[in-house]
Amino acid sequence: MQRYFSKLKEDNKFKLSSDDTYHLTKVMRMGYGDLIEIVYEEKLYICKIIELNPVIAEIIEDMDTYNELEVKVTICQSLVKENKMDLILEKCVELGAYSFIPLETRNSIIRLTEKDKIKKIDRWQKIVEGASCQSKRNIVPKVLDIMEIKDIIKLDYDLKILLSVNEVSNSLKNVLQFNKKCDTIIIVIGSEGGFAPYEEEELVKNGFIRTSLGKRVLRTETAPIAVLSMLNYEYER
């Protein structure tokens, strides 16, 4: 059953956005009387379509289904080429990421103007929403504004992880074993060229744990997927 997110509820009916209306009627070719899933304020409802332009759906049943990780994970990903960022967003949503922070670092290949940043964030948010529907999430993860290291170090999380290829790094497995009781985690991942030494030191100085994923060096688009897979294993009940 197709899942959509709605912000508009009146009595026992939901109204879908113009984009979702187009997808439901033109792409999925659904019509009057068809059943869909709608998530509103993190709660799932089974609904019947009663109008098509725009789509309005009536609640048939409330569902007690919650598909989120017990820990809120923020992926802080250094800017990479468009196709790689799209993949990272899509797969990390599927694996339960709570939010995303695009990060500008010294080695970031991508440099964006302020106008381009607004367009990119809007595009990334749409990718995240589509992946949230596909993977049956109860939330749509938020893509936050593009930040720099100086912004990241000010953020407050229970566990702050820096992915590094530095040989003195702790293994992620060990870090997670000693931090079982945490509600929020941020994971900072470098671009293709990794972090500059001074960037790593600034993060470590401000409470980030320098962490390794193992002996092999992963591509930047592989690293967040690997991390979230491990977090699913450790924290999902």
Q: Where are the domains of the chain?
A: 3-63, 72-235
Q: Where are the beta strands (DSSP E) in 123-235?
A: 142-143, 147-148, 159-163, 170-171, 184-189, 209-212
CA pseudo-torsion sign 217, 223, 227, 230: negative
Has residue 229 got a pLDDT over 70? Answer: yes
Structure tokens at 93: 């949503």
CATH class in words for 3-63: mainly beta
pTM of the model: 0.91
CA pair distance 151, 231, nearest whole angstrom = 25
pLDDT in tens, 10-69: 889 999 999 999 999 999 999 999 999 999 999 999 999 999 989 999 999 999 989 899
Residue 16 is classified by DSSP as: -
| pLDDT score recorded for residue 127 | 96
pLDDT (average), residues 159-178: 84
Q: How confident is the model at residue 237 (pLDDT cuts 50, 70, 90)?
A: low
| pLDDT score recorded for residue 194 | 82
Kind of pairing, strands 55-63 and 184-189? Answer: unpaired
In the numeric block, the tokens 């659904």 are attached to 30
Q: Into which CATH architecture does domain 72-235 fall?
A: 3-Layer(aba) Sandwich (3.40)
pLDDT in tens, 141-157: 999 999 999 999 999 99
Number of helices (H), then strands (E), in the chain: 7, 14
